[in-house]
Structure 1
Amino acid sequence: MIDPIVAIDRLRAAFRGPAKHRTLHAKGRFYGGTFTATTRAAALCRAGHLSGAPTPVVVRWSSAGGNADVPDTQPDIRGMAVKFRLADGTSTDLLSQTSPRFPTDVPEEFVALTQASLDPRSMPLFLAQHPRMLPAIVAGIRARGVAAHVSFAEPAYYPIHAYGWLDAEGTRTWVRYVFRPVATGADRLARTFTGPDRLSEEMAARLARGPVTFEVWVQLAGPGHDPHSAVSVWKGARKLLAGHLVVTEELPDPEAGGSPTVFDPTRVVDGIELSDDPILRFRPSAYAESISRRV
């Protein structure tokens, strides 16, 4: 497996982003709100934030690239990271993206794909050499995962990893999340936003009008569904509405003083278990290396 230092070196060189910024998802803003789980979710998972009581959340919407100077008009994958702050002082994170599927289980291949995607001349050859990635890339194109989005509030976001939900008796159910927007193109603001920071400007105006809500759905793994692979497709999986995430305000930048806020998909609490997904297991070491360069 690729060394995290090498992975971060290659990604930072590819984007040529400013020093002390995130290696990926460099451009983003922080927001606050609450998450409230449904009774059906609470029956399947004993985790505190799924009890049904409103749980504070910190949300960071971002663009996927590693250069924060790239304007929002540039097509990109968008990210939605969510930190759930439980009543006992613990927290757990979900990191999601607008592309519904991940192309590989191999960290080194993900780094190489990211590098190739920044050079239109090399991308066709890369895909010819890695044809098994094509279905996930096609799924992303169909879902408009990479686009010049007009709002962070309108796309669906997909945390790509499966997690084990444990109920009060310890029975495990493997789930995958989807954040589905309530907002549609029909209820956009009358004003058009065109500047380099149009996504954050649009969100500020949207929140001035009222909260932004996402339905949190989960797929429930059944026979033949692999929770330990980011590329696996759960055909025919049963779906359940797990709760509602309501964003109400933009927050002051918690990183303004130089201390990074870390969203880590392996940060879990009692009632939630990690899969053996190799991409998931690699991410904390890569994040640690990236964070070390930011501080």
Structure 2
Amino acid sequence: MASEVSVAPSGSEHSGAQKCPFQDPGLSSMDHDPRLRDILSRFNREKIPERAVHARGAGAYGEFEVTHDVSDICDIDMLLGVGKKTPCVVRFSTTTLERGSAESVRDVKGMAVKHFTQDGNWDWVCLNIPMFFIRDPSKFPDMVHAQRPDPTTNVANPSRWWEFVCNNHETLHMVMFQFSDFGTMFDYRSMSGYAAHAYKWVMPDGSWKYVHWFLASDQGPNFEQGHQAKPIGADDAESATRDLYQSLERGEYPSWTVKVQVVDPEDAPKLPFNILDVTKHWNLGNYPPAIDVIPGRTLGKLTLKKGPQDYFEEIEQLAFSPSRLVHGVEASEDPILQARLFAYPDAQTHRLGPNNLDLPANRTRKLADDGSKTEKAEMAPQKVPSQEHADWVSQVKSSSWSEPNETDYMFPREFWKALPRLRGEAFQNSLVVNMAKSLSQVPVNMREKVYSTLALIADDLADRVKTMTEEMVE
């Protein structure tokens, strides 16, 4: 016989708006089931805040191997000794959109590497494009917000981004890359990574050089596949992650050749652009012809070997920062880099808590058998460069640093002119088509403003974009 159910009079012990009676009106299951409370409490708190930028990502483990002797330019233990291997973990990511967004969106991509060296962890925080949109760090929040959905409707609004570009002409160089097929998603294995910033490599005697390191994909850019990539809402939003993990399962281990460009501090003021301006790239011989070529010198090779066993613990909880440096490496005076030295650890503390470096994903690894790490001799004080160099560095603190200058137009202009030679007419035309697709979604007054801005780069660029855009609008 079924047990009787007590039904309390109207206005007494009932649960919920529909007044469903408890079997025992004076008792809730929550009162006598602490395990249930724990289960629900953990569920309510199992998600951590997503990254402010680079929220969508994938990662894998591998190693870096030194393949060339570079002892004449650095005193970094990880790079000394041909054949030396260092374990690492790499995280690839999109940049501006949220964790659940499609990887195929036209967006700058990130490639962050954490090396577990005997001197501690050394983070390389790179992008797939060798420059950045801005050189004034105070513009960063506005730049990111301009690329995100409209706060009123939560719908993508290209007008916001084009308004930012038209008001900040230093963005034009990277915008040209962004809308070319370099900015079209292909896959993480084909993606190269660039530190973009100048760093300093310091020798034991205190002498030092400015350097820029980058990772060139040995798989090569897959522009054929990239050209077919779809915008937001692609059929497979996780295509790049899937491609990475499936390649590892097949034993096809992606690799990158790591190179470094070197500039003597006494030569830096003589260059026709400022290497502390991250909106410009260090010329590898492609363009501009008026800029001295700064050749890349090979350091070694990074190879990925396996994926994670627990994505949350091993990849999502990774905390990267350009401030995680090792003996022999220092940050340059680049204002964007200086801002990142604060912003990244601060963001990780917000996201993962003040003890984020103690999480298994971020702990340093004691590679020596006895648990001790190699002790490095104290370095001599850095040698002070000339007054000319000091005057050159002071430019980054001047009021004119944020203002447009001729190099802001020269670099995108030369990129536009070089595309047919470097990649072919079709590659240049795809840039026009990609811009037109975006501009066809904005009001006419904004379109005219963009055409005028593009004309500062090249008249034929502005004319071709305008013709294509207006055809799409009609």
Q: Is the 8 A contact 2:74 2:202 kept in 1?
A: yes
Q: Aligned in 2, Cα 1:207/1:42: closer, same or farther, shift over 3 Å?
A: farther
Q: In the alignment, is the contact (CA less than 8 A) between 1:41 and 1:243 conserved in 2?
A: no
The 1-side partners of 2:77 and 2:256 are apart by: 20
Q: Distance in 2 between matches of 1:254 and 1:203?
A: 14
Unmatched 5+ stretches in structure 1: 1-17
Shift of 1:96: 0.8
Aligned residue for 1:109, secondary structure, equals helix
More moved, 151-160 vs 32-41 = 32-41
Greater RCO (CA < 8 Å, at least 6 residues apart): 1
Deviations 1:160-188 (A, max 9, x none): 111111234443121111210111349x9
> CA 1:227–1:266 in structure 2 vs 1: closer, same or farther (change >3 Å)?
farther
Q: Does 1:242 align with 2:299?
A: yes
Deviates more, 1:95-104 or 1:281-290: 281-290
Query: TM-score, length-normalised on structure 2?
Result: 0.53
Task: Verify the 8 A CA contact 2:92 2:188 in the aligned structure 1.
Answer: yes
Say which of 103, 107, 116 aligns to 2:146. 116
Contact 2:146–2:161 (CA<8 Å) still a contact in 1? yes
* Greater CA drift, 253-262 or 22-31: 253-262
Q: What's the counterpart of residue 212 of structure 2?
A: 176
Residue 176 of structure 2 corresponds to 138
Number of residue pairs matched by the alignment: 272
Matched, 1:219 2:219: no
Distance 1:173 1:128 in 2: 36
One-letter identity of the residue aligned with 1:33: G
Q: Residues 28 and 82 (structure 1 numbering): CA distance in 2 closer, same or farther, change over 3 Å?
A: same
Partners of 1:33 and 1:40 lie apart in 2 by 21
Residue in 2 that maps onto 1:85: 116
Structure-2 separation of matches of 1:74 and 1:238? 32
Contact residue 100 and residue 139 of structure 1 kept, 8 A = no
Matches within 5 A, 1:1-295: 20-52=49-81, 53-88=84-119, 90-118=120-148, 119-142=157-180, 144-149=181-186, 151-184=187-220, 185=222, 195-208=236-249, 209-222=251-264, 223=267, 224-225=270-271, 226-234=274-282, 235=291, 236-253=293-310, 255-256=312-313, 260-295=317-352
- Assess if the C-alpha contact under 8 Å between 2:58 and 2:315 holds in 1: no
Aligned equivalents of 1:169, 1:37: Cα separation in 2: 23
The TM-score, its normalising length taken from structure 1, stands at: 0.82
- Could you say what secondary structure the match of 2:118 adopts? coil
Identity %: 23
Describe the shift of the 1:245–1:258 C-alpha distance in structure 2 as closer, same or farther (beyond 3 A). closer
**Going by fraction, where is helix more abundant, 1 or 2?**
2
Structure 1 contact 25–62 (Cα < 8 Å) conserved: yes
Asked if the contact 1:61–1:78 (Cα under 8 Å) also holds between the matched residues in 2, the reply is yes
Q: CA deviation at 1:19?
A: 5.8
**What CA distance in whole angstroms lies between the structure 1 residues aligned with 2:65 and 2:203?**
17
1:102–1:37 CA distance, 2 compared to 1 (3 A): same
Query: Could you say what secondary structure the match of 1:110 adopts?
Result: helix
Q: Which moved more, 1:282-291 or 1:57-66?
A: 282-291
The structure 1 segments of at least 4 consecutive aligned residues displaced by more than 4 Å after TM superposition are: none
Superposition deviation, residue 86 in structure 1 = 0.9
Distance 1:40 1:76, change over 3 A: same
User: In 2, distance between residues paired with 1:169 and 1:82?
Assistant: 29
SS in structure 1 opposite 2:134?
coil
Q: Which consecutive residues of structure 2, in runs of 5 or more, have no partner in the other structure?
A: 1-46, 149-156, 283-290, 353-474
Higher mean Cα deviation, 121-130 or 249-258?
249-258
- Distance in 2 (alpha carbons) for counterparts of 1:85 and 1:74: 32
* Residue 231 of structure 1: how far off its partner (Å): 2.6
Shift of residue 227, structure 1, vs aligned partner: 4.3
- Counterpart of 2:201 in 1: which secondary structure? strand
CA distance 1:207–1:194, shift in 2 (3 Å): farther
Deviation at 1:245, TM superposition (A): 0.6
SS in 2 for 1:284: helix
1:253–1:263 Cα change, 3 Å: farther
Check the 8 A contact 1:227/1:275 in 2, yes or no.
no
Report if aligned partners of 2:91, 2:315 keep a CA contact under 8 Å in 1.
no
Please give the alpha-carbon distance, in whole angstroms, between the structure 1 residues aligned to 2:147 and 2:312.
Answer: 29
